[in-house]
Amino acid sequence: MNIYNKSQFKLILAIFILFILNKPIFADYSIGIGYKPKYPDNFQNFEYAHPYANKGGVIKLSAFGTFESLNPFLLKSLAPAGMNNLMFETLMERSLDEPSSSYGHIASGYKLSQDKMSVIYYIKDNAKFSNGDKISAQDVEFSFLTLISKYAHPQYKIYWSDIKSTQIIDSQTIKFLFKKKNPELHMIIGDIPIFSKKWFKNKKFNEVVLEHPIASGPYIIDKFEAGRFIEYKKNPKYWGEKESTRRGMFNFNKIIFKYYKDMTVALEAFKAGEYDYIFENHSKRWARDYNGPNFDNGIIIKTQLKHLNNAGIQGFIFNTRKKIFMNREVRKAITLAFDFNWSNKNLFYNQYKRCKSYFSNSELSAPIEPSNYELELARELSIPLKLVKAKDIGFIDNKKSSRDNLVEAKKIFDKLGWKVHDDILHDNNGNKIEFHFLLAQKGFERILAPFAINLKKLGIKLNYRTIDLSLYQRRVDSFDFDMMVMSYPQSQSPGNELFAMFHSSSANKKGSYNVGGIQDKNVDKLLERIVYSASREDMIKSAHLLDRLLWNEFYMLPNWFINEHRIAYFDKFKMPNNLPKYYEATDYILKTWAIK
């Protein structure tokens, strides 16, 4: 006898079809740009995390400067250390041991349309905010629209500028429509940090300052005092504890950041046991100050962790909006006055390598001589071939002395018709040549001192002074500086973020990362080519030409990099057996370390 009659069968069939249409059974779980992702759909944990790590305990860290807001997405405020990674989560989770891969986290999967002009994301049914509310497609849409609004930092609008609109399909499904094809857009949509509208309490986003965020991350704020400390505690009802993208991660019950105004004071506090872990970016302190009984008897471990990060470039960036720095030859002459070899030996204890690229420590770094591909690409994009020349790195690679470089710099000024009177260099209009260097860390003053001496030999006066971090940030955001230290870290697969760094459209947007004011139509063409590259090979070779053009224009006086993370910690932690490849030290430690 049939269990079901015809009507029951139709009903069951209808329910089954509805299930098929509304569940992501044909969705993709992972994304790899230009290659197959490393981990299968059913992977248990990332290899750089230990699935059975101990849970519990406290880790204390230091932070420099101050904070004045609990909203990390605003232009005119400083948020506390750790907040982005500890409290906010994204649709997809980036892998730290692949160049450019993501795996479903808040999202169970995605589906890219055949014409690559839209993507659908499916939200997990069990994903929840810290207040217990289920994360919906409406929350995802609200977060995205808020971040690209006038109230948020402008970088977000630039980053997701190719998204045309959103469409809610159902409570757990959202569609993003694109303005044009972009090979990485479906992936970087997965980077949208998700938060609840209830965080706002009926305020405008830029008025949400000291309200505790309502997001989905593993931690919530326990207590804080603006500018002094912040304590995060593990959310006991954290939804993602058993997700493969979180297994063996975020193991501490409490994470505490204590703020210091002076890094020397902070180091002494660490040695005295006021906190547990320190990341060091100062070569002199690393070489001379990490010593004492606790180091000798193994209570404190001092070590260096290898990484394969694309180091990008750090340098002294010229504000090309300023008349003095509009001329490429002036920028080159000033660059020649910096003696890296002397500084590396006498100040840095030979710990650094000189940046020779905007993509240092990476296959994206251009060779000295242009390739045939670069020449063909230049013709295709109507970039004048006279610009596609050897990288001007003679001042780095040759054996010329600092004096030889100063002689060459003087020849450049002579050719411009600039003259020295009474030991002061003047331009053609009789204006004295001097400029100001904006600083937020006192440690850089010892680096600028010998640079200032060399500039003085050319008749140029360099003024520099360290100012309060909050004032420093406001001046940077409004481009109120002549020269400053700037770092452009890069990923293994750079994309839309390049527009914020180097595109003409971002040059005059307050808060833009294009702090140097680069406005070059040839650079713009190459940025478009890189972002919309059809293959990784095309992207790499296009990046070579971009690197060549940026480098040869001397927008930055190149600094240095190191391919290791210098850290010290009290011997109370256990780390996983495998290091990731591409990572920042503190983020990795907070994600994967545990108490012994």
Q: How far is CA 297 from CA 61, 99, 100, 293, 571, in A?
A: 22, 39, 41, 6, 11
277 pLDDT higher than 60: yes
**Residue 305 covered by a domain:** no
What's the pLDDT band for 22 if we cut at 50, 70, 90?
A: very low
- Residue at a domain's end among 182, 207, 232: 207
Q: Are 176 and 323 members of one domain? A: no
Which residues, at least 6 apart from 159, have a Cβ–Cβ distance to it below 8 Å? Answer: 188, 496, 497, 499, 500
**Residue 384 covered by a domain:** yes
Q: Are 200 and 327 members of one domain? A: no
Please report the pLDDT score of residue 576 as a whole number.
97
Q: Are 318 and 199 members of one domain? A: no
**Residue 554 covered by a domain:** yes
Rounded average pLDDT over 121-131: 98
Please report the pLDDT score of residue 2 as a whole number.
42
Question: What CATH number is attached to the domain comprising 491?
Answer: 3.10.105.10
What is the rounded distance in angstroms from the CA atom of residue 224 to the CA atom of residue 232? 9
Please report the pLDDT score of residue 12 as a whole number.
42
**Residue 274 covered by a domain:** no
**Residue 218 covered by a domain:** no
Query: Which domain, by its residues, includes 187?
Result: 26-52+75-207
Q: Are 370 and 510 members of one domain? A: yes
Which residues, at least 6 apart from 280, have a Cβ–Cβ distance to it below 8 Å? Answer: 286, 290, 566, 567, 568
Give the DSSP letter string of 111-175.
Answer: EE-TTSSEEEEEE-TT-B-TTSPBP-HHHHHHHHHHHTSTTS-HHHHHHTTTEEEEEEEETTEEE
- Are the C-beta atoms of 97 and 49 separated by less than 8 Å? no
Question: What CATH number is attached to the domain comprising 127?
Answer: 3.40.190.10
93 pLDDT higher than 50: yes
Token pair for residue 401? Answer: 């002395």
Domain count, the chain: 2
What is the rounded distance in angstroms from the CA atom of residue 506 to the CA atom of residue 263? 33
- Are the C-beta atoms of 303 and 568 separated by less than 8 Å? yes
Query: Tens digit of pLDDT for each residue in 383-392?
Result: 999 999 999 9
Q: Are 201 and 326 members of one domain? A: no
545 pLDDT higher than 60: yes
Q: Is the pTM above the cut of 0.75?
A: yes
What's the pLDDT band for 534 if we cut at 50, 70, 90?
A: confident
**Residue 95 covered by a domain:** yes
Q: How far is CA 467 from CA 261, 475, 483, 516, 556, in A?
A: 11, 10, 14, 20, 22
What's the pLDDT band for 561 if we cut at 50, 70, 90?
A: very high
- Are the C-beta atoms of 243 and 84 separated by less than 8 Å? no
Listed residue (105, 67, 120) closest to 194, CA to CA: 105
Please report the pLDDT score of residue 11 as a whole number.
39
Query: Tens digit of pLDDT for each residue in 56-73?
Result: 999 999 999 999 999 999
What is the rounded distance in angstroms from the CA atom of residue 335 to the CA atom of residue 412? 12
